[in-house]
Structure 1
Amino acid sequence: MAHVAENLPRAPESAAAARHLVSEALSTWGLEELADDGALIVSELVTNAVQHARSRSVRVTVTRLEPARVRIGVVDKSGKVPWLREPGGADEGGRGLVLVTGLAWDWGSEPLPWGKRVWAELHGGGQGMRGERYPWVGDLVRDGETGRHGIVTDVLGGAEWVLRPESGPGQWNSRRPERLTVVTPRASVRDRS
């Protein structure tokens, strides 16, 4: 099991250093396909720690659990457990854990004697614990319930996916992400536009 870690100041600019640490580790391990999602996840986790913890530093860890499975963690000295909430339409913040939920195979937090660790797992090279990752904004998906293809336009509270047809007007919602199959990931959908 490979592992890298770094202590960073509890400051907004530490998110950039954390993204670099995660990207370098994933590149070294030959998991470049996870680098973009890993960078977004660690950025959100560090930003949350900077906003809510009161310690002088945060610790960022990247652990390769299996050949194509990594766990990204951020440790801080706050015992306050993170919770997923649905941000209001006008809220500028509050979307971090919704983003993490959409990108990660799994995420959670664990208490430590001096604070907590918030972590997220990514899987590359095929299927992970859930079989497929949950769809995220920009993904082209097939809705197994309706048989329709659509592009995810929003994820509400990590519990409801808003979709629009590949072409033409309209939209529909799904509360069953396990029935949404990613046909084309968001980067490829953007490339086709």
Structure 2
Amino acid sequence: MIATTSRPTGPPGYTETLSRTPGSAATARRLVRAALAAWDLEELAEDGALIVSELVCNAVRHARSRSVRVSVTRPGAARVRIAVVDKSMQLPELREPGGEDESGRGLTLVAGLAPAWGADPLPWGKRVWAELHGKETRTGGGQSPWVGDLIHDEDARRRGIVTDVHGGTVWVLRPEWGQRLWTSRRPDRLTLIMPREQMEDRR
């Protein structure tokens, strides 16, 4: 069963824990396709399915745990991050395979399809991820605000930080200081004050 994670802050995402078997790659592909369809980013579906297949197969070959965790998150309006977490501490290495050696071919494919990819060590394992970039959604000639952006809501007459976007139609915001949330269905009335990248640099 495909499970959607709901976060009070941060990007929306889909996650599923799968058994560490070759057959789990097919389930992971369905998860990726479901997430991209929900976000109207179907143009990334083919590359996303190939990437998650390679990441899952790599975890099946090298991890030692009974299961792996697949996640598909949306850190930007047209950015999607596909990740696989396992309990192996060994980080993957990108290298050109030679002859009959198939080791490394999967990551070569991932690196060729994804504008960015990497591996994050965890206390009990690792997370291998890859990002895909689609076409940016534009509203009123400018990029729509996204999670982490500091904006001014012209209708509410207040500043806030975007904490979530539901279906590309409802923007969830919280005040710069405080926790009381409000929503907006008018991205054209949300004026960008500081993009998320600069907000992260302030921390």
Q: Return the TM-score normalized by structure 1.
A: 0.64
Match of 2:96 in 1: 86
Q: How many residues align?
A: 126
How well do the aligned residues superpose, as a CA RMSD in angstroms? 1.0
CA distance in structure 1 between the aligned counterparts of 2:102 and 2:93, rounded to whole angstroms: 17
The answer to whether residue 69 in structure 2 is matched with residue 59 in structure 1 is: yes
> What amino acid is aligned across from residue 112 of structure 1 in structure 2?
L
If you compute each CA radius of gyration, which structure gives the higher value, 1 or 2?
Answer: 2
1:90-101 correspondence runs (5 A): 90-101=100-111
Q: Distance in 1 between matches of 2:129 and 2:20?
A: 17
CA shift for structure 1 position 97: 0.3
Match of 1:10 in 2: 20
Shift of 1:57: 0.1
Deviation at 1:93, TM superposition (A): 4.4
1:123 maps to 133
Q: Does residue 1:32 correspond to 2:42, yes or no?
A: yes
Deviations 1:131-180 (A, max 9, x none): xxxxxxxxxxxxxxxxxxxxxxxxxxxxxxxxxxxxxxxxxxxxxxxxxx
Give the Cα separation in 1 of the matches to 2:102 and 2:36.
30
Distance (Å, rounded) in 2 between the aligned partners of 1:69 and 1:94: 25
- TM-score between both structures, scaled by the size of structure 2: 0.61
Percent of paired sites with the same residue = 70
After the TM superposition, which parts of structure 1 deviate over 3 Å for at least 4 consecutive aligned residues? none
Distance 1:73 1:45 in 2: 8
Q: CA deviation at 1:70?
A: 0.7
Structure 2: stretches of 5+ with no match in the other structure: 1-10, 137-203
Unaligned ranges ≥5, structure 1: 127-193
* Deviation (angstroms), 1:85: 1.0
